[in-house]
Chains A and B, each alone.
Chain A
Amino acid sequence: MNRQETVLSRRQMLKLLSLGAGGALLAACAPATPAAPPATEAPTAPPPTEAPTAPPPTEAPTPTPEPTPTTGPRVNSVGKVLPDDAAPPEQQVYVTAGQGNPGQFMDISAMVYNRGALSDLYGVPLTRINKDFELVPGAAKEWKVSEDGLTWTFTLRDDIMWSDDTPLTADDFVATFRYMADPKSAYDFTWYYSKGSGNIKNFDEVVAGKLPVEELGVRKGANDYELIVETGEVTPYLPRLFMFAMPLQAKALAAHGPAYNSNPATCVSCGPFIVKEFSPTRVEVVANPKAADDIKPFLERMIAVPFPDSFQAYQAGQLDFTGVSNAAQVDAVLNDPQLSAQATPDVGDFRTDYFFFDVTKPPFDNLKFRQALSHLLDRESIVKFITKPLLARPAYSFLAPGFPAANGEALKDIQRYDPELAKKLYAESGVKVDKLLLQMRGDLEGYFGKEITQAYADSIKQNLGIEVEVKSVPIKDYMADLLKRTPDGKPDTTIDFGYISYGMDYLDPSNMLTVMKGSDLGGRHTWNNKEYQDLLAKAGPMTDIEERTKLYQQAEKLMVEECAFIFCIHRTPVNLWKPYIKGAPMEPGKVNLNRGVAWPGVSAMNGAASEIYIANNVLEFRKSIP
């Protein structure tokens, strides 16, 4: 045996070490194997009672000593029977990017705009909507209104328990409403229950510190399960509005403050889930074993990782759901058969993107000039070439198809694309301008805003010879400017010509149309039309739905004719759902015609969090659970 055969040269040794190190690195970087079941943490499932597990066969014993598979229904850790096509409990994990908001509050009643991922799963709102946006009972099993229409009595279910074994009662709702109105809370969504919206009696006065919280028009009724809500005006849509009335537990609120659900140690839930892990970059919730039977979820866990780019994370197989919101993502979806099969358009929150003017300043105080501009927006081409029909519909009015009192077809002609008419109206207006500044709210860039505003600017330049500079402004700066008021309350905005959007908070025309009520009444735009304001005021309290709808349609027609707003697109956001997400909320509905959970998503407000599950084809797609 010579030395050459037995001893490695230094060069060979280095090669081997390099290969070994490289191999180790690649092995370490290989995708992880599917997550093991949380064997020790999940409580033991109670034995199924509906259909007992079949006894092991005795006539033909299996040749191997392995345990005989059970054939009865499978239950998850909180005792909910899983559907036949469901994956095993350990795979009942839904992974989402959350709401994308930075924030830590977990309840809409604590704070709205700084809610974290997986919020609103820890209570049962007074009312709910179903997948077809129909009003259904929530924590309140029934409600009635007094003859004068000002006093509502909500009868609460008596079988909803908090996870600390105390019952959900009217006291919790009273404490929640008092928290929202209390000036010390500085709640960020007070407008929702204020005059002109929720109209809750004394709400504005309490917010302003003129009355104590005890004077608020929300109080306990004859017993623990009766809640009385008084309104300052007749508010027939109040039950719809109360889908956001998510209770905070009075005891926890007093002991730990409004963010008690951001801490697993202080979290108390009567909803489908309870918080297990919380950090700004990851939230994990588990099924609430104390939830009422119909509220208990099929899912064992929900995990939220607020990926900065959820579309990429979905493509990488790390998410079960994502939205599609820009041209590059649309192309990626359309060019990928697998993604295309998973993509479904959705009505979302019936959002409409629109242009607006400061009608108090020239040249936009000139109706004919505004009308001229309204005829230069080629919505059909925008939808065909920019957004693609998958993601938007042309908007000729504010209320999107499917929204109560929507009337787009009848109003289609008023702001139609007609460059010749535009030129004629411009000539008649007497306006002579060379240049305009169009300011877009920055977040609309995420929904083709740049392309749309540029197309519109080009159309104005081409037909009227007016140069339009387009400027995108970050949302916070934009809204600060738009809502700037002089000390005496007059608009003081520099946005004369803007592009913005709005989506509903509750499914009633009053919600969408009051956005345009005008700055005199606390609205965000400067179009203060008395006739429009009167129509809204008259329609709001009406209980005759047909007559009410007529008034709202009349108001919307007036708004379209006045051209203070030029409506551009109704969004139909496309969502991607992994094929293994199933359940009743995923099925096509009457309003949302495609597969996918409708607005507001997987939440306790629509019951979807309790009803979706992971189907048994999950392992064809999911490599691991993050």
Chain B
Amino acid sequence: MARYILGRLAGLVFVLLSVSFLTFFLMYNTPGGPFDEINQPLSPEAKANMMRKYGLDQPFYVNWWNWITKAVQGDFGISYYYPNTRVIDLFSKYWGSSLMLGFLSVAWSFPLGVVLGVIAALKRNTIVDQIITTIALVTVTVPIISLIFFGIAIFVIGLKWFGFNNGQPLYQQPPNAWVLPAFIFGLGTVGALARYTRSGMLDVLGQDYIRTARAKGLSRAVVIMKHAMRNMLIPLVTVFGPVLANAITGSTFVEIAFAIPGIGRFFLESIYTRDYPVIIFTVIIAATMLTISNLLIDIAYTLIDPRVRLGGGH
């Protein structure tokens, strides 16, 4: 197991090197740059001063290597647009908002999705099943941007029950600044989980060992909780990793719509403004999170299912 984990971590280094190189290549070869003139053209001399100051007169691979050598020492550079702030400080300050939004949305949507899925499976082909399936279908298929639109129009502008974020981190805000974003952000997960769980539960319920357990005289509740649910965990763990990673790094639309100062919002703004130090750091963080979450899921398999062995075991 230890060898397996070390191998995967070594692979992570290779992944990060490749991702960073590719990101630098794309950043420097996309038309436009961080300091393009908006209105009046700068003189060639003034433009050259600007390029030199930020090292943009160097080829991308030189800047990539400079970045790598500093990054391994914990120096991820300074944002072009927030010159008093190191990129890592910017993230430290706003990471919390994204984390809180992600965890809140998962905290209510994941259990609810699982419960609804189980209920739908147990009440298969009844009106309850049909209602849950319809709700799940709607929350999965309606784009989050539409949900945001309706949510803001009805609850923020119309009823004024909730408000936009006031620019401070989410965890310093009253509930009326985070309840609606967390609810909307989690809706898609509820639907997806409910559909996923229903399908998985129906598979499990059709297995011979469930029939055997019932035949042994075990109550329905015990069979479901002890036998069916445990076997349902494997596919759930598979989806939990991406759901969690998406919850933390995929809240861009929600953050922008509700003015939440999170990393998703900064990432999008950094792409728009070509703030290279912020772009590369965000990409690396996202890649790291996804890779590590996949690793943790693989490890979790071994805990849930004794048949699974990692690292070449039998």
B-contacting residues of A (Cβ < 8 Å)? 25-26, 28-32, 102-105, 113-114, 183-188, 190-192, 194, 204, 207-209, 257, 259, 262-263, 279-282, 304-309, 312-313, 315-318, 474-477, 479-481, 483, 489, 502, 515, 522-524, 623, 626
Contact = CB atoms under 8 A, between A and B. Distances in A.
B32 A104 contact: no
Closest 9 CB pairs of A and B: A282-B167, A626-B166, A476-B32, A208-B45, A281-B261, A305-B167, A28-B175, A186-B53, A186-B50
Interface residues on chain B, size class: 35 or more
B42 A188 contact: yes
Interface string B169-180: 000001110010
B162 A113 contact: no
A476 B156 contact: no
Contacts of B73: none
Nearest to A29: B176
5 contacts: A184-B49, A186-B50, A208-B45, A309-B257, A479-B37
B274 A318 contact: no
Nearest to B155: A29
Contacts of B175: 25, 28-29
B156 A316 contact: yes
A480 B31 contact: yes
A262 B46 contact: no
Nearest to B153: A312
B295 interface: no
Contact of A187 (B46, B157, B164, B167): B46
B269 A476 contact: no
A280 B255 CA distance: 14
Given A207-B43, A208-B43, A480 B33 contact: yes
A280 B176 contact: no
Contact of A279 (B39, B53, B93, B163): B93
A26 B36 CA distance: 48
B40 interface: yes
B273 interface: yes
B41 A104 contact: no
B46 A190 contact: yes
B287 interface: no
B177 to A, nearest CB: 9
A30 B163 CA distance: 10
Contact of A312 (B94, B157, B167): B157
Contacts of A104: 81-85
Contacts of B39: 502
Contacts of A102: 81, 269, 272-273, 275
Contacts of B82: 103-104, 262, 280
A207 B49 CA distance: 8
Contact of B35 (A188, A312, A489): A188
Contacts of B94: 281
Given A186-B53, A476-B36, A480-B31, A313 B41 contact: no
Contacts of B40: 191-192, 515, 524
Greatest chain B CB density within 10 A among A25, A204, A626 is at: A626
A207 B36 contact: no
A307 B176 contact: no
Interface string B45-72: 1100110111000000000000000000
A184 B275 CA distance: 20
B161 interface: yes
Nearest to B80: A114
Contacts of B35: 186, 188
A295 B261 CA distance: 33
Greatest chain B CB density within 10 A among A30, A259, A279, A304 is at: A279
Contact of A30 (B32, B44, B161, B257): B161
A207 B38 contact: no
Contacts of A474: 32, 272
Given A281-B261, A282-B167, A25 B179 contact: yes
A186 B174 CA distance: 42
B223 interface: no
B90 interface: yes
B190 interface: no
Contacts of B37: 188, 479, 483
A422 B82 CA distance: 51
B160 interface: yes
Interface in B228-284: 256-257, 259, 261, 265-266, 269, 272-275
Nearest to B32: A476
B168 interface: yes
B132 interface: no
A281 B172 CA distance: 13
A257 B156 CA distance: 41
A279 B266 CA distance: 13
B84 A262 contact: yes
B192 interface: no
Contact of B32 (A191, A282, A480, A623): A480
B96 to A, nearest CB: 13
A24 to B, nearest CB: 10
Nearest to A111: B83
Contacts of B43: 190-191, 194, 204, 207-208, 522
Given A191-B43, A313-B164, A502-B39, 17 more contacts: A28-B179, A29-B179, A104-B85, A114-B81, A186-B50, A186-B53, A188-B35, A262-B83, A305-B167, A306-B167, A316-B164, A480-B31, A480-B32, A483-B41, A524-B41, A626-B163, A626-B167
B152 interface: yes
A407 B83 CA distance: 44
Given A186-B53, A259-B83, A309-B257, A29 B42 contact: no
Contact of A32 (B42, B165, B174, B259): B174
A165 B31 CA distance: 48
A29 B257 CA distance: 18
A316 B163 contact: yes
A481 to B, nearest CB: 7
B49 A475 contact: no
Contacts of A192: 40
A308 B259 contact: yes
B49 A186 contact: yes
A132 B38 CA distance: 27
A522 B33 contact: no
A468 B43 CA distance: 34
A208 B261 CA distance: 39
Contacts of B81: 102-104, 114, 280
A339 to B, nearest CB: 11
Nearest to A502: B39
A623 B160 contact: yes
B161 A31 contact: yes
B249 to A, nearest CB: 18
